[in-house]
Amino acid sequence: MFTFFKKYKFFAVVLIILSAIIISIIYQIMKPKEVLKIYQPADVSTELVDSTLHYVKKYHTIADFSLINQNGKTITQNDYKDKIYVADFFFTTCQTICPIMTDHMVKIQNELKNDNEVLLLSHTVTPEIDSVAQLKKYALEKGVDDAKWNLVTGDKREIYDLARKSYLAAKDVPFQVNDLVHTENFVLVDKKKRIRGFYDGTDSESIEKLLADIKILQQED
């Protein structure tokens, strides 16, 4: 019997390898494809959503916008057409969470520097302070890649509405000319302008989750 097994040892090894490959293929075929949730206003804490949207449960998308970036260029939704992007809200003079958030956005930029499918978009919440020149200075200090990442300023009301009604990323406070309370949230937006995830921009583990989720989102197409 030992001689028999010795004689067919090669074929047995090949059979085992083929079996392992076939089992692996079957597992991959049967394994459910991971899909990211599509977030609606009703899924988000009411303090982050404009009261007019609290009960919206479907069809939510990011509204059209027109803002000015660090190079004085007008940036609209067309610049993000057919792109996955990460959005947040900040201001250049912030000394608390914003520096950490910006450093993490730089990390995302560097991780995805060769991926033309993904862009970044940061909105200032103090446009009266963050002029184009100020945004450019900040961009140079932080190593912002102009082709990848827009820092935008513009009309305060428009930025406020985007934060509360589109990205669902600002606390529920009455609108004031010089006051907009943003959160640490990074918002993942898909190619159809839908929100696919919220991430703590101050937390390293959350950033890793964001990078992983971008890969999942890219597999949807």
**Tokens 């004085």 belong to which residue?**
72
Q: Degrees (nearest 5) of the Cα angle 98, 194, 123? A: 25
Which CATH architecture group holds 41-218?
Answer: 3-Layer(aba) Sandwich (3.40)
Q: How far apart are CA 4 and CA 147, in angstroms?
A: 66
Global pTM? Answer: 0.84
Alpha-carbon distance of 133 to 205, in angstroms, equals: 33
- Quick one: pLDDT at residue 14? 55
Residue-level pLDDT at 171: 81
Closest CA to 132 of 68, 61, 191: 68
Residue 182 is predicted with a pLDDT of: 82
What per-residue confidence (pLDDT) applies to 24?
53
Task: Render each residue's pLDDT in the chain as its tens digit; 221 residues.
Answer: 555 445 555 555 555 666 556 655 554 555 567 899 999 999 999 999 998 999 999 999 999 999 999 999 999 999 999 999 999 999 999 999 999 999 999 999 999 999 999 999 999 999 999 999 999 999 999 999 999 999 999 999 999 999 999 999 988 665 554 466 789 999 999 999 999 999 999 999 999 999 999 999 999 86
For Cα atoms 190, 196, 185, give the angle at the middle one, nearest 5 degrees: 110
C-alpha 101/C-alpha 173 separation (Å) is: 22
Distances (CA, A) of 108 to 23, 80, 105: 36, 17, 5
Residue 123 in marked binding region: no
**CA-to-CA distance for 111 and 154, rounded, in angstroms?**
29
